[in-house]
Structure 1
Amino acid sequence: MLLQMQEAARKGDKARLAALLPQTAGHPLEPWAAYWELKARLETSNQAEVDAFLQRWRGTYQEDRLRNDWLLLLGQRRQWSDFARMLADFRMQDDREVRCYDMAVQTIERRQPEHAAQEVVRLWHAQRDADDGCTYAASELYAIKQLDDLAVWKRARLSAEQNRQTGTRRAVTIVAPDALSHLTEVFASPAKYLAGTSKVRGNTRRELAVLALIRMASTDPDQAASLMDSRWAAQLRAEERDWVWGVIGKVSARRLDSNAVAYFDKVGKPERMSDESQEWMVRANLRAGQWHTVRKTIDAMPPSLQADSAWVYWKARALLNDRRGGEAERAEAQRLLQSIASVKGFYEKLALEDLGQAVTVPPAPQPLTAQEQAAAASNPGLQRALYAIRIGLRSEGVREWNYSVGLHVPGGMNDRELLAAADLACKAQVWDRCINTSERTREAIDWKQRFPMPFHDAVIAKANSIGLDPAYVYGLIRQESRFIMDARSHVGASGLMQVMPATAKWTARKIGMTDFQPQMINDRDVNITIGTSYLKLALDDFEGSMAMAAAGYNAGPGRPRNWRNGPVLEGAIWAENVPFTETRDYVKKVLSNTTNYAAMITGRPQSLKARLGTVGPKVTTAEYNPDLP
């Protein structure tokens, strides 16, 4: 019944939802049924009906989620008095658009417009798609001169970098509505636009040229660089030039092009580039061994970006490697490394090793008391979440679980409560909630919760039988599926090791599994056999490099074969320069996980750096396996 309602909700079948709702009375998941039914017809509902729902389900996730939905509708309708009344009880405070609507209200009422402007710029610029709330708030602030032209054009540039024409159009509508007719050509044919004679003049003409150069750079950075050198650099202002050169450098760096450093060298002030361009400027200079520029670029980053453990680590390394540095720089490097060093993450581990320490299993926290366990077991939100996951409503269960443990809610559970909640999930074998909940503790660290080893005998036996490090297998499974047996990705990968159908068929044939059928990939033991066998084949193909094999497992083997070309790099620099964000994050997490699992399995200190090794062009004459999918 609940599964039928979930399907009806996805289809927007209001009649089906209304017919099924009475049958859920008294059901443990009745709040979900009531939410789906009202959400489907929310646009035609009224405040009284919404208030009745909120009162009926007070304190639940569903109450706060419907409040979020209603706030978005009130914002779209510009019903500000109702919006302000509803906002006061919104607990999650995790919706950027709602926050922007709140800033719009403050702007309309002339309350702290300077603060509103700073907050709106932060939220607006951080969005992938510029939504109604932040666009509206920005337009209101622009109208009262609390937002300048540059802030609006920067939003247009960020959207153009991501090929998001709607976001660009929304920003240009605020600052230069007369220029909207030119945007189609700017996106569709930037070269044609740049070669033409635009009727637009002044600041708008330059900014449209910037947008066109950004779009050109996304497909042909060398052509964009040529146009900058021959014509546009002289016509743009310094800030505009730096942004364009930043984009040209970023795209080149993503392609691991040796021209990237030269393009970045044309940037006068790195702080005038986008955050993403600054990050790629660091990466390109890491590849080139230009430590002084690495440090200078990180110093130019906004404080929020500088605080990221990746850039803390690389700044420390730059201070240690810059020949111009002295004793003060070395002391600062030590301070930076100490500020992040721990066994928790990739760069935290590298910092720990740079300080002369190894990765070891941290002491276990005090055992949970019976009272702490009972409190978690009786938590109604956690109970509903586990029930939902158990009957197949995983998405709903995960959201309710996260809300119940305090994710996106100010305050939330303390460390002991989080450990108890994680323990509850572990015992229910809901491993993803066990891991994610335990990872939220601030001081107490339970390594067995964070790095569980389900299916221990099957994984260890299979890994050992083919000469594969069991810790590597566990590190990869933890990242791939969080040990969810029926996990299925949006591209069709299945099971614990997220194996693609074609890869499964190829691997089965390669290892002599003559009876393999596609549906068998969902069997636990078959999935482990196929996944570990493919990982071993990939590892052998990459001459034992765990970093490259992990990259190949995630992005296909052809890409890391190309990514390894160029200078011989320490593994951490190579991993940081992986062009795909998802794969870059994946490689770092798999190797970090592997190091932790090795410490647990062997009981001995471990080194992440040893597993990363160095990466460079292929050194043996052996050919790659041409069939490896």
Structure 2
Amino acid sequence: MASLACADNSDSVFEEALHAARNDDWNGLAQAQKRLSDDHPLQAYLEFHRLRAALPDLSPQRVVEYGERYPDSPLPDDIRQHALVAYAKESRWRDVLKVYDRAPRGTELRCYYLRAQWENGDKGVLPQVRELWLSGSSRPSSCDPLFEAARDQGVIGEQEIWERLLLAFDQGATGLMSYLADMQSGADATAGEWLGRLHRDPERLRELPEGIGDERREQLLSAALRRLAYTDTVRARELFEQESANLGLKDPALRERAAERIAWYSTIRGIEENRQWLDGWLANNGSADTLDQRARRSVIEQRWDELPDWVARLPAAARDDSRWQYWLGRAAEENGDDEAARAHWGRAAGQRNFYGFLAAERLGQAPVFSNASPATDDSAPTQPGLARVALLREIDEPQLAWDEWNWMLWHSSEGQRRKLAQHALQQGWYDLVVQASIQARAWNVLAWRFPAAHRDLFVNAARRHDLDPWLSMAVARRESAFYPHARSPVGAQGLMQLMPGTARKVARDAGQTPPDARQVMDPDINVALGTRYLAELLERFNGNRVLALAAYNAGPHRVDDWLAEEEDAVPADVWIESIPFYETREYVQAVLTYRVLFQGLHGNREQLVLLRPDERGTPYSLAMMD
């Protein structure tokens, strides 16, 4: 492992050098590097930026040599990607193949690489181009020359254009549909035009003109019914039952695709008008997902007598899972068979998850943790990247440290990953230990999966708002896995994944200056604001954690309508299973489960409670299902 001895005196110098390199300040970089030792563990980062700035004129040999010099780093992969794009944009196709000997990951890079092969005379790449073409979403512009070549060579023809149109139709990619329709000619052009019309108004399926051809007609009819299943599920079922065969939809596979979509939306929307048809069709058809939703519908409607029959149709692995064992127990209880109920709950209670813990509470038992020892030897991990991770974290470069860490995990054995996980725990690198536990598949080593990350921070923040610190810690574990610089696709930031607008509002309400984007990533600020926001939601929903957590994920405005008067109430467990948004449903279950784990692992293991009596007794509404 590289020595850390130089770190104490050179951190600020390296930060100065890295800042200069990122901003192409080569004079500033040269001055800073004079004060750094040649063997500084992070020298590779400075050289990376010199190479990056020299592109596209940089010799590919320099790129190759850089990779040979730093074989234990993620940086050679990064500079190869930069070089590939730079060379491709300059049409230096031979140089592309000098820095890559196989197609890289990522569609844009792969298209550049395949084009380099094509430009260098390799005609065998066109079947791979056809695979890239067959996508319902748009492809990067780097793929366009390849698609043109494949069309010129007849590898992409009318059939491939039509197949992609159908894929785009199912994904609702209307812009791509228009683009593809312009490529068509003859009868296929007519079919393409009608596919667009049917996406806008699927009931026009009865207006399909003659001359399209039987195959295209059936595909159009099936597509229209799938679209109509979304826009008007009852009408889709009526047309499927009463008119589809006469209109020409006879192919068994296409009929099944249409019926499956009608069944899916009939199930998740609970459409009574379609129930007789749905249950009749599902008697001999239906995917595992649709059957799962049909069993879930029985739970939502508390039709306990029919639930066991639907669960029995699920695959064995699903039937044995704690979720369905729990609900079979509930059904048995409601049907007056307490012995069977306890048997089902006993099987569920052996599993470490929401429904396993819920079953344990039904039985009056403690939750089963199945906690395993880390079971690593006493030797320390020796990867050179560890020194770089430590230094990068010290100088507040978490993304670079994260990249180094993941590169080490991907290039390590399972035993090495376990050592890295234990090392990260000892160093207090909580986000990295969670990531290592996943890569090591150490599902039962709870010390790694649920470390008491930033415990003092959460405890102090929770104390200010009379809040359970294990709850806010569980929220952070679910939201960001304790990575302070996490950023979601929609812009949520930090440990507890606050949206910038929410962070500003919470700060203003507290009489504080709203944080800027960088400050939101500071754990002290983020946890303080996130905990305050969680406390506000709990106050809004009378301390009910189920509702507050649903609001934290889906937004409080949605949850305001999810309450009911006493006569409209459903039990808490039914309500949680009924949450229409899969993400929110899983979120509520996960956070409540994580809270029990955190308390049991790091706090008072007595009286672990998943759902409090007041939460069980709250009148929850199924109005949200509308």
Identify the TM-score tier after normalising by the shorter chain: 0.5 to 0.7
Give the corresponding residue for 1:398.
Answer: 402
Structure 1 SS opposite 2:496: coil
Equivalent pair of 2:165/2:180 in contact (CA under 8 Å): yes
- Larger-gyration structure (1/2): 2
CA 1:446–1:583 in structure 2 vs 1: closer, same or farther (change >3 Å)? same
Q: Distance in 1 between matches of 2:328 and 2:134?
A: 34
Equivalence map 1:82-481=2 (5 Å): 159-165=168-174, 178=189, 181-182=192-193, 185-186=196-197, 189-191=200-202, 194=205, 196-198=207-209, 199-229=211-241, 231-232=243-244, 235=247, 236=249, 237-251=251-265, 264-265=278-279, 267=281, 280-281=293-294, 283-288=296-301, 289=303, 290-292=306-308, 294-295=310-311, 298-299=314-315, 312-314=321-323, 316=325, 341-343=350-352, 345-346=353-354, 358-360=367-369, 362=371, 364-365=373-374, 369=378, 371-372=379-380, 375=382, 379-406=383-410, 412-415=412-415, 417-442=416-441, 445-464=444-463, 466-481=465-480
Give the corresponding residue for 1:12.
Answer: none
Q: Distance in 2 between matches of 1:213 and 1:75?
A: 44
Equivalent pair of 1:487/1:496 in contact (CA under 8 Å): yes
Equivalent pair of 1:495/1:527 in contact (CA under 8 Å): yes
Count of residue correspondences: 568
Q: Deviations over 1:605-629 (max 9, x none)?
A: 635466996598548xxxxxxxxxx
Equivalent pair of 1:5/1:36 in contact (CA under 8 Å): no
Q: Distance in 2 between matches of 1:40 and 1:272?
A: 56
Equivalent pair of 1:249/1:264 in contact (CA under 8 Å): yes
Equivalent pair of 2:63/2:76 in contact (CA under 8 Å): no
Equivalent pair of 2:198/2:204 in contact (CA under 8 Å): no
One-letter code aligned to 1:414 = E
Q: Deviations over 1:508-541 (max 9, x none)?
A: 677xx4x322139847666545433432342344
Q: Distance in 1 between matches of 2:297 and 2:398?
A: 41
Give the corresponding residue for 2:68.
Answer: 55
Equivalent pair of 2:48/2:79 in contact (CA under 8 Å): yes
Equivalent pair of 1:547/1:612 in contact (CA under 8 Å): no
CA 1:399–1:284 in structure 2 vs 1: closer, same or farther (change >3 Å)? farther
Q: CA deviation at 1:473?
A: 1.7
Structure 1 SS opposite 2:413: coil
**Structure 2 spans left out of the alignment, 5+ residues:** 1-15, 118-122, 622-626
Give the corresponding residue for 1:552.
Answer: 551
CA 1:160–1:571 in structure 2 vs 1: closer, same or farther (change >3 Å)? farther
Equivalent pair of 1:17/1:36 in contact (CA under 8 Å): no
Give the corresponding residue for 2:594.
Answer: 593
Structure 1 SS opposite 2:478: helix
Q: Distance in 2 between matches of 1:480 and 1:22?
A: 42
Q: Distance in 2 between matches of 1:180 and 1:37?
A: 54
- Whether 1:604 and 2:606 are equivalent positions in the alignment is yes
CA 1:311–1:582 in structure 2 vs 1: closer, same or farther (change >3 Å)? farther
One-letter code aligned to 2:386 = L
Give the corresponding residue for 1:303.
Answer: none
Give the corresponding residue for 1:518.
Answer: 514
One-letter code aligned to 1:560 = V
Equivalent pair of 1:463/1:469 in contact (CA under 8 Å): yes
Equivalent pair of 1:497/1:531 in contact (CA under 8 Å): yes
One-letter code aligned to 1:372 = A
One-letter code aligned to 2:212 = V
Q: Distance in 2 between matches of 1:383 and 1:41?
A: 28
Give the corresponding residue for 1:302.
Answer: none
Q: Deviations over 1:189-210 (max 9, x none)?
A: 2347535434422222222333
Q: Distance in 1 between matches of 2:86 and 2:278?
A: 44
CA 1:347–1:539 in structure 2 vs 1: closer, same or farther (change >3 Å)? same
Q: Distance in 2 between matches of 1:611 and 1:100?
A: 58
CA 1:54–1:529 in structure 2 vs 1: closer, same or farther (change >3 Å)? closer
Q: CA deviation at 1:553?
A: 0.7
Of the structure 1 ranges 469-478 and 60-69, higher mean CA displacement relative to structure 2 is found in 60-69
Q: Deviations over 1:204-238 (max 9, x none)?
A: 22223333444444444455445445543654344
CA 1:69–1:171 in structure 2 vs 1: closer, same or farther (change >3 Å)? farther
Q: Please give the root-mean-square deviation of Cα atoms over the aligned residues, in Å.
A: 5.9
CA 1:592–1:320 in structure 2 vs 1: closer, same or farther (change >3 Å)? closer
One-letter code aligned to 2:605 = G
Structure 1 SS opposite 2:451: coil
Equivalent pair of 1:191/1:216 in contact (CA under 8 Å): yes
Equivalent pair of 1:425/1:431 in contact (CA under 8 Å): yes
Equivalent pair of 1:569/1:615 in contact (CA under 8 Å): no
Q: Distance in 1 between matches of 2:54 and 2:184?
A: 32
Equivalent pair of 1:186/1:211 in contact (CA under 8 Å): no
Structure 2 SS opposite 1:518: coil
Q: Distance in 2 between matches of 1:498 and 1:35?
A: 32
Give the corresponding residue for 2:5.
Answer: none
Q: Distance in 2 between matches of 1:6 and 1:276?
A: 52
Equivalent pair of 2:22/2:49 in contact (CA under 8 Å): no
Of the structure 1 ranges 379-388 and 42-51, higher mean CA displacement relative to structure 2 is found in 42-51
Q: Deviations over 1:329-350 (max 9, x none)?
A: x99x979958x9543x546656
The percentage of aligned residue pairs carrying the same residue is 23
One-letter code aligned to 2:388 = R
One-letter code aligned to 1:201 = G
Q: Deviations over 1:116-146 (max 9, x none)?
A: 9xxx89x988x9777899xx99x99xx999x
Equivalent pair of 2:191/2:216 in contact (CA under 8 Å): no
Q: CA deviation at 1:58?
A: 3.0
Q: CA deviation at 1:475?
A: 0.7
Q: Distance in 2 between matches of 1:220 and 1:576?
A: 25
Q: Distance in 2 between matches of 1:52 and 1:266?
A: 66
Q: CA deviation at 1:556?
A: 0.7
Q: Deviations over 1:436-473 (max 9, x none)?
A: 21344445854344323344345335535644332212
Of the structure 1 ranges 420-429 and 485-494, higher mean CA displacement relative to structure 2 is found in 485-494
Q: CA deviation at 1:84?
A: 13
Of the structure 1 ranges 238-247 and 22-31, higher mean CA displacement relative to structure 2 is found in 22-31
CA 1:287–1:192 in structure 2 vs 1: closer, same or farther (change >3 Å)? closer
